[in-house]
Amino acid sequence: MKYQTIKDKLCCPFDKSDLTLDPITMEEKTQNVIEGILTCDNCRRIYPIISGIPIMNPDEFREESLEKPLLEKWQKMLGERSINNFRLTEG
């Protein structure tokens, strides 16, 4: 999905707040985000972008065991932040 589309059009499906995009892998020519993390500025929920597709399912339909390997792979990107119950926490 195009970087600008993600920034301009997507919002948190729970509280309609803006999302912060941390792109991990992008195609330089097309500016498509291949992998990345979307974070809600209000509720701190995280949504992964996998193969260019934002995964924005309600919490009850998400499986932490399926997302965990991907988030562990991206831990460097998160720095001191961690993920607990599909939410980004500081420290």
In the chain, domain spans: 3-89
User: Per-residue pLDDT tens for 39-79?
Assistant: 999 999 989 999 999 999 888 888 888 888 887 787 777 77
Taking the C-alpha atoms of residue 29 and residue 47, their distance in angstroms, rounded to an integer, is 24
User: Per-residue pLDDT tens for 17-45?
Assistant: 999 998 989 998 998 999 999 999 999 99
Query: In the numeric block, which tokens belong to residue 9?
Result: 């059009």
DSSP state of 85: T
Taking the C-alpha atoms of residue 72 and residue 32, their distance in angstroms, rounded to an integer, is 23
Please provide the distance, in angstroms rounded to a whole number, between the alpha carbons at the two ends of the chain.
Answer: 30
Is residue 88 helix, strand or coil? strand
Query: Does this model's pTM top 0.85?
Result: no
